[in-house]
Amino acid sequence: DTEVTQTPKHLVMGMTNKKSLKCEQHMGHRAMYWYKQKAKKPPELMFVYSYEKLSINESVPSRFSPECPNSSLLNLHLHALQPEDSALYLCASSQVAQSSYEQYFGPGTRLTVT
Amino acid sequence: SQKIEQNSEALNIQEGKTATLTCNYTNYSPAYLQWYRQDPGRGPVFLLLIRENEKEKRKERLKVTFDTTLKQSLFHITASQPADSATYLCARPYSGYSTLTFGKGTMLLVSP
């Protein structure tokens, strides 16, 4: 199984809401990533988890809170977002957090903040 | 800073022709580059990794080259098909080789 799944596919939330994005992989990968992608832009790295520990935070605002409950799951908790946070949020995994390994991406969650 | 640039935003070609996409990088040569394909509204899909000492790598109709003198990688799709229409991203190592940074991508449109 080489699939990364993400739920929900689409999410519309108000600026005062709290919601969570979920990501799951069963490839035994020990590195998981969150990316943000705006239209016609490349994926921008937000967070990297290595062996369930946060290893990279790309200066992401605290209204985004990642969590890695176990080696297969990755969550992104959202609170008090701004309209400019509307984007495609991609989860990815790789065997380890080393850039010579290919990353497997999920289909993404399309987030709209109203 | 370690930049990676794909200067062509879009490339239109006719079916059956060879598409050539360019990726340029700045500063030191990375040990390898990766290429991904992304369809609209979907996550990127890994295609090829080329190491700096490999010069050229092939996979079916795909060919990637790595020229450390020009600081450039070329991505070729031979006998292109409309189904090859997508955005192609190149990526280089980032943050101490623990992850990747992506170029802006080139949108390829293959017309029948």
Instruction: Spell out the long-range contacts of B80-86 with Cβ–Cβ below 8 A and sequence spacing 24 or more.
Output: B80/B13, B80/B15, B80/B16, B80/B17, B80/B18, B80/B19, B80/B108, B80/B110, B81/B15, B81/B110, B82/B15, B82/B110, B82/B111, B82/B112, B83/B110, B84/B19, B84/B108, B84/B110, B85/B109, B85/B110, B86/B37, B86/B38, B86/B39
Residue-level pLDDT at B1: 62
- Cβ pair B43:A106 closer than 8 A: yes
Between A and B, how many CB-CB pairs are < 8 A?
A: 65
**How close B35 gets to chain A, by Cα (Å)?**
9
Mean pLDDT of chain A: 95
Distance from CA of B67 to the nearest CA of A (A): 18
**Distance (Å) from the C-alpha of residue B17 to the closest C-alpha of chain A?**
25
The 10s digit of each residue's pLDDT in B36-66 is 999 999 999 999 999 999 989 999 999 999 9
Contact B44 A105 (CB under 8 A): yes
Q: Is residue A64's pLDDT more than 80?
A: yes
pLDDT at A2 over 80: no
Per-residue pLDDT at B20: 97
Residue ranges, chain B, pLDDT below 70:
1-2
